Structure 1
């Protein structure tokens, strides 16, 4: 059995300008044992936890974490022209702090965004990717558009 992340599968197929209709997706999925195209792929949902309360809690945490990543991505894109040292940036970094092992990656984002203000090039987007990489390494559900 192979588990696919639905968001990542949809995002990848849209990026490659391929159909996201199920027969087309199913035709492209290969058997993990023999490598041939399989027509008998079954789809089922894999929940985060056993009961609904824990599932809702996990989804809420995932949503808040990904919204903070969206804010930091916007800050990273505009770090060259706008001052990134704002309360919004601080709040997004504080939201992500419990999900990371250490705060060095978050501090690095803050420093790179501040150093890139007014410069021709900013390393803030690279620091944003480091944050995403650390979150994925720790097993958090990060939206496919950040990966």
Structure 2
């Protein structure tokens, strides 16, 4: 059996509210059920208790808990800032991407307009070539008539 006394059990009730501005955090309402807390460490030798560690001390629980809450609030605000920065980066990335999409769509529209114009010109060329063939045949027929008339 150990020579060290059993440490009393302490129950602490804490209510935490996280706000965006740590300067407006209201003071904590902490109720400590046992004010005399004993801190007992393991023995440093096989038959005794470390005299420095085995003493009764009154811990200032509200200060420790207040510090912890402030640290958590600070960490939460830092994390929020990191997430907001990441959100801004993503928004900028998406804006750049949207601008690139608009640019590519305009290039596509230009290419489509060029394709429509090329198709129209091909149609006109086909009509002109057909007319040329017809006129060539008509010219040949007229030359034959002319030759026949001159030979009479």
Q: TM-score, normalised by structure 1?
A: 0.23
Q: Which one has a bigger Cα radius of gyration?
A: 2
Instruction: Tell me which protein shows more strand as a share of its residues.
Output: 2
Q: Which has the higher contact order (CA 8 A, sep 6+)?
A: 1
Q: With structure 2 as the length reference, what TM-score do the two structures score?
A: 0.22
